[in-house]
A = this chain, B = another copy of it.
Amino acid sequence: MVTTPAESALRDSPYHADCPTRHILDRIGDRWTVLIVGALWDRSNRFSELRRRIEGISQKMLTQTLRGLERDGLVRRTVYPEVPVRVEYALTEAGRTLRKPLRALEEWSIAHLGDVSAAQKAYDRAD
């Protein structure tokens, strides 16, 4: 039997810091991670390629987010010692397993974000 978010969310303490769902949100909940994972979905990318494809990301945040993903074993960094140096980033097998939960999030968004937006407008008009 699989536990529900409801059950596990309240099973742990203190601060429920080890709620499993909170842990993955710490991992993918930031501004850039899902965009990088998305960009690496089909094939590996060079650093500069990622920078171009992900509009608005700074060099700092691209490096920082990639380092985090590499540290967690979700992305593999490969350096080809050519001149100039070439660095390729690719999802690992573990990284690919993110597909299912990310897909679930995306499907919810597509199905419900219109309602959420309407609810916000109604709420703001009311008060």
Contact = CB atoms under 8 A, between A and B. Distances in A.
B14 A55 contact: yes
Nearest to A28: B25
Interface string A106-120: 111111110110111
A92 to B, nearest CB: 9
A106 B20 contact: yes
A73 to B, nearest CB: 3
Given A10-B54, A14-B55, A56-B16, A105 B112 contact: no
State the oligomeric state as a number of copies: 2
B25 A38 contact: no
Contacts of A13: 55
Interface in A2-36: 2-10, 13-17, 19-25, 27-31, 34-35
A87 interface: no
Interface in A24-83: 24-25, 27-31, 34-35, 37-42, 53-56, 70-74
Contacts of A24: 105-106, 108-109, 113
Contacts of A22: 31, 34-35
